[in-house]
Structure 1
Amino acid sequence: MTNSTNVTWHETTIAKEDRRVQNGHGSYVLWFTGLSGSGKSTIANAVSNELFRLGINEYVLDGDNIRHGLNKDLGFSDEDRTENIRRIGEVAKLFVDSGKVVTTAFISPFRSDRDQVRTLFEKGEFIEVFVDCPLEECERRDPKQLYVKARRGEIKDFTGIDSPYEAPERPEIVIKSDQLSVQEAVNQIIQYLRKQDEIQED
């Protein structure tokens, strides 16, 4: 809700359904959530590549990239994390309204924030993908050395160490990234989308 009383919503001339017809496929968000180091960005980008190969209009919104621009004014307090996810949810909705498939890769640690984003979308447009990886494995990988810094006290409010991660209760897809290769994870997601008729058979 806007704080201004002088702002009016204007309906667009071209509807979401029109764009979907032109694109030849539906539009929705694949919302990847999980601990740092779980493989969210890697898998999200690999899925994006496969969707692109299949001729689907897609785009990736990645947590680190967004914090370089749109959300560069936000820190990592609970309040800022909530605002970070709120903004991304609104951006993802714009992509879905434009007829595209958007994959988002964000820790998004709080269940209430993810549930709030879900309410922005119509039924079937929000597909939560829980990249489930044990903390010990994420720390072992630690591609950005963030866990090392967090354990040293150099990073405060780090998810999994001194800030909680609330796992999804009913995600549409669960990826056990410590047990699957990236390609196997991609195959699992593509298979789900085919079953939901979001992707037509070749």
Structure 2
Amino acid sequence: MSILNSLLIKTSSVKNICILFVASHLVLLIMMIFTLPVINDQIGTKVFDLQTLGYSVSVAESIVENLNNETTSLYLFPQLTLLDLLYPILLALFLSSILFRLFSITETKSKIASILLVIPFMAMLFDYAENICVILMISKSLELTKTLVLLSSSLTILKGVFTSIAWITILVYAIKWFRMKILERNNKKAKAPYPISAGKKR
């Protein structure tokens, strides 16, 4: 945790958080505009990565069968081995840095807070493991078994769940910080001395 804290101290400045936001969402934008639409159009459904509720063996078989050589190559590179290599780590750094900053300004110190800082990186690891499974399936390096599909599907679901937990935590602590600022401002107003009005001259 000390290594992670040292990293987040550097990345949790407003400037660095903005840089991570732009970088991660720029990669996402490239995927959503250039690679994913082409692949989705070819397979007639969403790619494995976007099947947030998971997928069955029949769905996996349909995706693999509908991929031609050109689209498979596009799916492998740049989608899986470049763009989806950069996006998870940039997003994890972005989410964890925001959480670190929110915990700091709301003076939140607990074991749960420390665990929550790791959640985005867990989502990142699930994403990378999912990518490996997808690569094995679409390259036909392994037989498309029920076990492989179940593993890949579970990783897809876990990636989505852990990412959602991170976003929900950010929302909760952002609201907490906003309420603290309002209370602080109201307290300052309540403690401020009332101006003494000068008497009217006759």
**What TM-score, normalized by structure 1, do the two folds share?**
0.27
Higher radius of gyration, 1 or 2: 2
Report the structure, 1 or 2, having the larger strand content: 1
**What TM-score, normalized by structure 2, do the two folds share?**
0.27
